[in-house]
Amino acid sequence: MINFTRIFAVFVSITLFIGAANAADMTLRLHTLVKSPHPYNDMAKFIATEASKRSGGAISVKIFDAGQLGKDDTVLGEMQLGTIDMMVSSTNNAAKKVPQFQVFSIPYLFVDYAEMMRKIGPQTAAEAYFQQAYVDNKLGIRLLALGGSGTRNLSNKKGPVNALADISGFKMRTPGSPMIVKTWQALGTLPSSVAWGELYAAVQTGVVDAFESSIPGYNGAKLYEVAPFLSLTGHTIQVNHVSISERTWQKMTAEQQKILTEIAQEASVLGIEMAKKYEKELVASLQEKHGVTVTRPDKSEFKSALASLQKTLVRDLNLDAAVAAINK
């Protein structure tokens, strides 16, 4: 006699097993905005390789670089829905959704990369603060790690910049961050918000004269073709974030979550090392291969011009708690 109860039990067991196996195997879509060579893409490749290796093939990461999935604002919205899973990008571009990130636009906030990672790296008060900021801003996204991916410097189409007076009246492209806008206003420029992907054309057509960016970003977007004057102001260290959709996160096992967090933190260290490498190599290459004029203005002049403004902006933009967390 056929034991239907036993057959049904076996069928249920197989169904549950298959369901569990399918849930464990996932392909994550990871966004970056930039073209290679760039630390973000090196970080993305590291995450993809290590996620597959350490998860035993259960986690696969497919990289979409150079803004294939859209601008950062769009991608952040898609991550809230779970249609895009991860991103590696600048905190500047997320400041509209996480206003606390504006603190990283304070010029000369960190002395160097080592100080930066001591203050915002894994298990720091700052990391916990910004993870909670994601929750408070109801992003539906989880912060895995913060790191650095290059100093930001001034480039322009008009001529060499050796002193602060040289940039007076420049039509300056800035991201949407109020902190950055106010900073460049105080330095005598005329800020204008232009999307990164539209910057080349904006400089070419005279909509803007100048902009600030990382050196890999400047090189990767071939901005030296329209703005051949690079000034190594090093006014900020570009802080990046590695983030994941909360919906994606909740589909993972606790072990997978642990693995991905560790990989993201290690990727952030890699980003710093690659940024140092690229900056050294690219400055030389930009001069030799593309005829870029490189200057090194006196930073003390820039710092003096911004000293009082920074305190005012921290107060006006409600960034006191963010500053306190970084300096804790």
4-326 carries CATH number 3.40.50.300: no
Q: What is the pLDDT of residue 17?
A: 39
Q: CA–CA distance from 264 to each of 4, 40, 86, 267 (Å)? A: 49, 12, 11, 5
What percentage of the chain exceeds 70 in pLDDT? Answer: 93
pLDDT tens figures, 51-64 = 999 999 999 999 99
pLDDT at 2 over 60: no
pLDDT at 157 over 90: yes
Distance CA 126, CA 123 (A): 8
Domain boundaries, the chain: 4-326
CA 108 to chain centre: 18
pLDDT in tens, 270-308: 999 999 999 999 999 999 999 999 999 999 999 999 988
DSSP string covering 184-210: HHHTT-EEEE--GGGHHHHHHTTS-SE
236 and 109 Cβ atoms separated by less than 8 Å: yes
Are 250 and 157 spatial neighbours (Cβ–Cβ below 8 Å)?
no
Residue 10 reports pLDDT greater than 80? no
The pLDDT score that the predictor gives to residue 176 is: 72
pLDDT at 152: 94
pLDDT band per the 50, 70, 90 thresholds, residue 12: very low
Q: What percent of the chain has pLDDT over 90?
A: 83
How high does pLDDT run on average in the chain?
A: 91
pLDDT digits (tens, 9 = 90+) for 67-103: 999 999 999 999 999 999 999 999 989 999 999 999 9
Q: What tokens appear for 92 in the block?
A: 């500047």
Does the pLDDT of residue 186 top 80, yes or no?
Answer: yes
Q: Indicate if the pLDDT at residue 110 is higher than 80.
A: yes
| pLDDT reported for residue 23 | 43
- This prediction has a pTM of 0.84
Least confident of 13-27, 215-229, 301-315: 13-27
